[in-house]
Amino acid sequence: MSCDYTKTTQCQERTKDPLEMFHSGHLVKICAPMVRYSKLAFRTLVRKYDCDLCYTPMIVAADFVRSIKARDSEFTTNKGDCPLIVQFAANDAQLLSDAARIICPYVNGIDINCGCPQRWAITEGYGACLINKPELVQDMVKQVRSQVENPKFSVSIKIRIHDDLTRTVDLCRKAEATGVSWITVHGRNIEERHQPVHYDAIKIIKENLSIPVIANGDIKSLKEAENVQEITGTNGIMVARGLLANPAMFAGYKETPLKCIWDWVDIALEHGTPFMCFHHHLMYMMERITSKQEKKVFNALSSTTAVLDYLTDHYSM
């Protein structure tokens, strides 16, 4: 397969205002930003299975502004890719607002990554370290608000929580006062990885804000999504690994249906998805429906042709 590139086009469905979706009273189902994975082809797939809103993988704002090559490789979209939020890693208000002005004709809004716990991101001043810099977060939101003319253009943030939840509530209130559109809360602190998600903390944050709040963390089925919304009172549910394992989960499927697997094949081939990405997505999707021996054989396949032959032989519809 060749490079994953589709010419960028202006978003044709501006009527799908995410803020209106959040105020509808219905569960808003969201595909999380996922490095390498939440690209155009995968977003196209999950939209077929009742995903309401998609995020791009995190893009470093400074690279996006300074390099046309980075823009072309990091961001692709098409007319059906709406509503869409681009997530930026940023630590400079001017660079972020420059990135927002470049991207605004093609998306519904931007999100500032204030939750990535990876060491490289924190070292660069991106991600979860920003939850300890509320003034910088405020400045970035203000700059984007002042330099993007479209009043419907959203500016959101995605955060982790502090051990002292009063600090998280304070951060969120300051962001709300500055004009942030909504806040996504991953219910773990910076050090936590696989520990239980603190849904009680998300509930408290929601109760202290007037803007929409999105819950994120360890949601693996539509029923779990509905339960978390009921527990937290949030306006939407964001899912990452659960969608990788089952892109049809928002449509109520408990495991990836065969139709979804073949939809992925068609979409990935149409979009020219690189083999490694194409194959890895299938590994995730088939994790729950294949035996240990089948996984060993399938995961060792090394070409698109071999994958297609295997699927035809073992998983024809």
Q: Is 116 a catalytic residue?
A: yes
Tell whether residue 57 is among the known ligand binding residues: no
Triad 109, 111, 114: Cα angle to 5°: 170
Tell whether residue 280 is among the known ligand binding residues: no
- Helix, strand, coil content of the chain in percent (nearest 5): 50, 15, 40
d(CA 113, CA 83): 19
d(CA 142, CA 124): 22
Tell whether residue 35 is among the known ligand binding residues: yes
Question: From residue 17, how far is each of 180, 214, 317 by CA, in Å?
Answer: 15, 16, 37
Pairing state between β 154-160 and 59-60: unpaired
Tell whether residue 33 is among the known ligand binding residues: yes
233: left (phi over 0), alpha (psi -120 to 50) or beta: left
Question: From residue 256, how far is each of 52, 268, 283, 289, 292 by CA, in Å?
Answer: 18, 16, 11, 8, 17
Tell whether residue 240 is among the known ligand binding residues: yes
Residue type, 43: R
d(CA 161, CA 213): 13
Contacts of 243 (CB under 8 A, 6+ apart): 31, 32, 46, 51, 249, 250
Annotated catalytic residue, options 11, 82, 116, 129 = 116
Peptide bond preceding 257 in cis form (omega within 30 of 0): no
Are 220 and 242 in contact, with CB atoms under 8 Å apart? yes
Q: For the chain, give the number of residues.
A: 317
Closest listed residue to residue 207, CA positions, set 240, 234, 176: 234
Which segments are annotated as binding site? 33-35, 87, 186, 240-241
Which segments are annotated as binding site for FMN? 33-35, 87, 186, 240-241
Which residues are the active-site residues? 116
